[in-house]
Structure 1
Amino acid sequence: MPLRVTFVAAARGAPLLAERFEDDRPLDQAGWDEVQQVVGGLLPLAAAELRYCSPTPRSRATGDALGYAPLAQLALRDCDMGRWRGLTLGEAMAREPDAVDAWLADPRAVPHGGESLLAFISRVGGWLDTRPGDDTGRIVAVAEPSVIRAALVYALKAPPASYWNIDVRPLSATTVTGRAGRWNLCLDGIPAQRSRT
């Protein structure tokens, strides 16, 4: 059996339209409530040999609430957005529309002075490729949705622009199997009790 890495998306810390670049706010009450509704379905992942999380307050809190006691991994941090850190996409667009357009169109662009999308995908992929584990290793990582999208683009060897076409919802679980340089998306699903929204 190949190495199995399951990414769990952190619970939300703000409404979707209020999400900010490199948002380090803690879970809001709705996020806590959602964790409580799905804990039964995601708790079995706590049996993974290795448990990690992004170094954000909401990733750590989500992992702790799910019983994972995860170890924060700096490589699983969100994309460095430079001077746009803390802004919403709408706020960045209002201030620098041409720069935002360039960033969305070119995965190598860094108009904000931070990290390019391509560098972000490569960093997250490098973390994935260096995971320890034998042929039966299981890993769980609670991460921001953006980090999971980057991991999926890397694992599937998809064009960087496909990053914008992947929707990762809070508290969803996504698994890749394989080993360094040879990853497969696994769609076996993890049953979880979801709230009705």
Structure 2
Amino acid sequence: MHLRVTFVAAARSSSLLAERFQDERPLDQAGWDEVQRAAPELVSLAASELRYCSPTPRSRATGDALGYGPLVQLALRDCDMGRWRGFTLGEAMAREPQAVDAWLADPRSTPHGGESLLAFIARVGAWLDTRPADDGGRIVAVAEPSVIRAALVYALKAPPATYWNIDVRPLSTTTVTGRAGRWNLRFDGAFTQSTRA
């Protein structure tokens, strides 16, 4: 039994330079505009048998705008950042530089009083592993970039530090195929070769 799970990164709610931990802001105008531009490429995913999203306003709005009618999944919520919720990384660093350094260096640490990176990755991975396993089933999940990074680290069985090296852009898609405990990253983009005169 193999599944195909395509993650769609939620459209932005703010400038990427102002990304905040556990950002609960709705889509801004630029985010809505991005969804409209990306819709022709992404609406076909609405044919997926199961359609999910993170509980954030921007994930729900992105899924609804694309016609997915997604079911909210609490397991796809962002990492619990405790007292750093709503801060940018720079703001947390200005207030608690040693705590931020410890958090970035040790995936088991919780200096913010929330969830460790390791626990976050395990939670998202457990969600992935418990999807209904109909052979050939297709699933789409609109989620925050952090959730998608956690899913990829889990699926690839990569070291937790790999999380910091994965860049997930708004409205990008990432697909994993397989079943519980055995996932593969899949690239579906068409290759076009340009010629020069």
Shared fold per TM-score greater than 0.5:
yes
Aligned residues: percent identity? 84
Q: How far apart in 1 are the matches of 2:48 and 2:138?
A: 5
Is the contact between residue 99 and residue 112 of structure 1 (CA under 8 Å) also seen in structure 2? Answer: yes
Instruction: Measure how far apart 1:189 and its partner are.
Output: 2.9
Deviating beyond 6 angstroms after TM superposition, the runs of 4 or more aligned structure 1 residues are: none
Is the contact between residue 11 and residue 58 of structure 2 (CA under 8 Å) also seen in structure 1? Answer: yes
Q: How far apart in 1 are the matches of 2:110 and 2:57?
A: 26
Q: In structure 2, what residue type is equivalent to 1:114?
A: G
Equivalent residue number for residue 112 of structure 1: 112
CA RMSD of aligned residues (A): 1.2
Q: How far apart in 2 are the matches of 1:177 and 1:99?
A: 37
Equivalent residue number for residue 103 of structure 1: 103
Equivalent residue number for residue 64 of structure 1: 64
Q: Rg bigger for which structure? A: 2
For each residue in 1:65-114, what CA deviation from the matched residue of structure 2 results, as whole angstroms up to 9, or x when unmatched? 00000000000000000000010100000000000000000000000000
Is the contact between residue 173 and residue 190 of structure 1 (CA under 8 Å) also seen in structure 2? Answer: no
Runs of 5+ consecutive residues of structure 2 not aligned to the other structure = 192-197
Cα–Cα, structure 1 residues 100 and 190, in superposed 2: closer, same or farther, change >3 Å?
farther
After TM superposition, the score normalised by the length of structure 1 is 0.95
Runs of 5+ consecutive residues of structure 1 not aligned to the other structure = 192-197
Q: Check if 1:131 corresponds to 2:131.
A: yes
Is the contact between residue 53 and residue 71 of structure 2 (CA under 8 Å) also seen in structure 1? Answer: yes
For 2:183, what is the secondary structure of its paired residue? strand
Q: How far apart in 2 are the matches of 1:20 and 1:146?
A: 11
Q: Check if 1:85 corresponds to 2:89.
A: no
Q: How far apart in 1 are the matches of 2:113 and 2:9?
A: 27
